[in-house]
């Protein structure tokens, strides 16, 4: 896809930064893993955050494949988005079932991870009609996935120590 050529530096930067962040989240989580696995909402949110980062890595990494056709890129984006979306849907369901009556941020906790999923889904569909716009949407999805994962991870790691 010709539109990808101008995005190489962005994708290289995003693959590296996102992979490093995913590794840091996993290492930071491992410090308190015993407490994390006792809290289903925290476990599911961390899994969804990591899945969002993996989605960003996959989408940016596939964009670096020389000469990849737009249809193949779009298909990978959509299939990968479904995978990460499954983790986020599971996290939302676990959060919804949490019996904590004082959890006033329940909707926000459940919704935050869907923002990058929605951006990637839009990108995966748009690439079939307007590849240049699809790449902009995917870039937004990548940046939002990073921000979302940082917020979800930080909140989860702080909550586990309460």
Give the predicted TM-score (pTM) of the model: 0.89
Domain limits of the chain? 2-159
16 pLDDT above the threshold of 90? yes
What integer is the mean pLDDT of 71-90?
Answer: 96
CA atoms within 13 A on the CB side of 24: 12
DSSP, res 3: G
pLDDT given at position 69: 93
* In the block, residue with structure tokens 């590296």: 16
Distance CA 115, CA 145 (A): 8
Start-to-end CA distance of the chain, whole Å, equals 49
Distance CA 48, CA 143 (A): 16
pLDDT tens digits for range 92-130: 998 888 776 566 677 777 788 899 999 999 999 999 999
Distance CA 159, CA 4 (A): 40
């Amino acid at each position: 896809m010709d539109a990808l050529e101008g995005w190489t530096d962005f994708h290289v930067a995003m693959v590296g930064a996102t992979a490093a962040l995913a590794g840091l989240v996993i290492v930071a989580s491992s410090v308190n893993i015993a407490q994390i696995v006792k809290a289903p909402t925290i476990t599911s949110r961390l899994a969804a955050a990591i899945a969002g980062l993996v989605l960003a890595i996959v989408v940016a990494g596939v964009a670096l494949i020389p000469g990849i056709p737009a249809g193949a890129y779009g298909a990978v984006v959509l299939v990968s988005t479904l995978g990460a979306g499954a983790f986020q849907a599971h996290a939302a369901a676990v959060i919804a079932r949490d019996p904590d009556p004082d959890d006033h941020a329940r909707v926000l906790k459940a919704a935050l991870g869907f923002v990058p999923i929605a951006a990637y889904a839009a990108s995966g569909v748009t690439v079939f009609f307007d590849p240049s716009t699809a790449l902009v949407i995917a870039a937004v999805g990548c940046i939002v996935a990073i921000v979302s994962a940082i917020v979800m991870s930080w909140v989860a790691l702080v909550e586990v120590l309460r």
